[in-house]
Amino acid sequence: MNQIDTHQINAMGSPEATGLAHWQARAAEVLPAAGFGNFDPGVILARGQGSRVWDEDGNEFIDLLIGSGPMILGHGNEEVAGAVAEQMGRGLTFFTNNSAGIALAEQIVEDMACAEQVRYVSTGGEADMYAMRLARAFTGRDKILKFEGGYHGMSAEALMSLAPQQLVNFPNAVPDSAGIPRSVEESMVIAPYNDLDAVRQLLDQFEGEVAGIIVEPLQRILAPAEGFLDGLREEATRRGIVLIFDEVVTGYRFTYHGAQAYYGVTPDLCTLGKIIGGGFPLAAIAGRADIMAHFDKSRVGADGFTMQVGTLSGNPVASVAGLKTMEILRRPGVYDAMAAKGRAIMGAYTEHLGAAGIDHQIVGEPWLFDCVFSAHAVIDYRGVLGGDADLAKAFNRSMRQSGLLKADAKLYTHAALTDTDMDQILSAVKQAARSL
């Protein structure tokens, strides 16, 4: 048996070595920018249970971040944990098909209006990348239309005009990252969200060149204007374009059947993630069988084949976690209860910020929303960018000091929030408004 190097033990640290400062110092040595790239690297969480999380100093927070969306039932749900434990005794992953993954695909096909077939990946960003690739394979065209400020993962296409600080004329794309070839810019058409006339003009300009339109039905926190998604559906159908709903965030969140049911518009493809894995890495592309056929070389031939392989795609642990999560979400009253809590928090924002005379807009839906500090209606990315960022930072800082953990620009409600949590949240909103 190999002996363990004592130097290695010291480098790893002892069980007694704890605390935020300790872990922040270690992170700074081994992680670029001292973090995973997702969130404030100064936050290092040690555990979560129900609606609450604790950091490495033992500070307790009500979790309104919920892992950026997956933990819609809260942390450590006993039913999900039980299903996972049972599967772990049977095997963690196989690379082959497995019954849990097949059963989950059947459930998705039953649940989502657009879904006739499903293909798994591990992350939402991968799902979006493959959805755009499928659209190109299906149509034989090259360009993808996306919306300024829309988030679709970390592929080269997705990192076009995700969060541009330089506002250029549409349809020009602004890369959000180094390392992206200039040729990618030429393949993307950028449009303003909620502006159907602008979309029509761009589609006229690039008639016959656009393979797909990819859109978050709720773009970050921006709700679609009346008729906007319907108009995208009409234009895509008329022009032979694949309409892709990025439902990685919205799938199973507003209603069990996704934003496509909530807003009443059915896309050709949708991408799913977060909730379908029950807290484990899992995502999917779901959609029309004739488009999904491009994952099957025997049906479309070598020229039309879209290659996709992933080591953990459809792994059974994530699949059973997703199946159990979705089973719980189907129970009566779950979504209504989350919506009621969301509306209460929205109401508190309006009441207390209004009383303080602070210009603000509540943007989003009760299950996912935030406040933009602006006197003007916020309907697109530029409206969000025009908000008072300093006020937003001060407000969020006060919320953190009151024991709430949330993202900088969104707040998730979830099923684990209790009445006690709500009392603390509403009090924190009041205090944050007063602090401004």
CA torsion 424-428-434-436 (nearest 10°) is 180
Is residue 371 classed exposed, middle or buried when 0-12, 13-18 and 19+ CB atoms within 10 A define those classes? buried
Closest by Cα among 339, 407, 372 to 68: 407
Residue ranges of alpha helices (H) inside 114-205 are 124-139, 182-187, 196-205
Instruction: Evaluate whether 360 touches 371 at the Cβ level (below 8 Å).
Output: yes
Contacts of 149 (CB under 8 A, 6+ apart): 161, 162, 163, 193, 219, 220, 222, 380, 381, 382, 384, 385
Single out the residue of 228, 257, 256, 260 nearest to residue 244, CA to CA: 260
Q: Which two tokens stand for residue 205?
A: 């300009």
- Say which residues have a Cβ less than 8 Å from residue 261's Cβ, sequence separation at least 6: 113, 255
The single residue of 63, 111, 246, 370 carrying the catalytic annotation is: 246
Respond yes or no: is residue 151 known to be catalytic. Answer: yes
Catalytic residue among 143, 146, 274, 341: 274
Residue 246 appears among annotated catalytic residues: yes
The one catalytic residue in 63, 128, 146, 151 is 151
* Residue written as token pair 């992170």: 27
Give me the active site residues, please: 151, 246, 274
